[in-house]
Amino acid sequence: MQPKSPSILECPVGRAVETVGEWWSILILRDAFQGATRFDEFSQSLGIAPNILSRRLAHLTESGMFVRRRYQERPPRYEYVLTDKARDFFPVIVALLAWGNKHLAPKGESILLANRGDARPFEPVVVDASDMRPITLANTVAIPGPRASRGMRARLASLKAMNPAIAPAGD
């Protein structure tokens, strides 16, 4: 494990990447959202080496993304059930899918998300819950939260791209 800087440990993005940022973990969660729960299902879908899959599933379980539940006694077999914490990660997968379709599918989308009721494809966007307007780089600024350290407050104040008060004109 690499030593973490205080700004990474304090940053919600840094902590999230620590939990699910490794690409196998994200693909395991993607498959779990599509119904996979068992080791062999993940293995077959992903083509991942068993030792890597074991480590990733253990990490996701220790991180509170899965609950490991025995479904067979002899030999002992386990399934990996999504927790509420993991289900809250689903919008991140949706955002990755939308970004991949927009920027990495030159011949067209191979997967779309659709409404369960009428199969109408969704157009995923991240919106503010209070006014339903899209959250974009242009209308966003990072500000310190109530538990931000002095160092985090200084870091946020120094970020030109996120702080219009210090951004140079024309940016």
What one-character-per-residue DSSP string does 16-62 give?
HHHHH-SHHHHHHHHHHHTT--BHHHHHHHH---HHHHHHHHHHHHH
What's the pLDDT at 2?
Answer: 57
**What does DSSP assign to residue 127?**
B
What's the pLDDT at 151?
Answer: 87
Does the pLDDT value for residue 118 go beyond 80? yes
- Reported as a single tens digit per residue, the pLDDT across 28-67 is 999 999 999 999 999 999 999 999 999 999 999 999 999 9
To the nearest whole number, what is the mean pLDDT of the chain? Answer: 89
Angle at 143 between CA 142 and CA 145, to 5 degrees: 125
Query: Is the Cα torsion angle 136, 148, 59, 49 positive or negative in sign?
Result: positive
Ordered structural domains, the chain, with CATH? 1-87 (1.10.10.10), 89-124 (no CATH), 127-162 (no CATH)
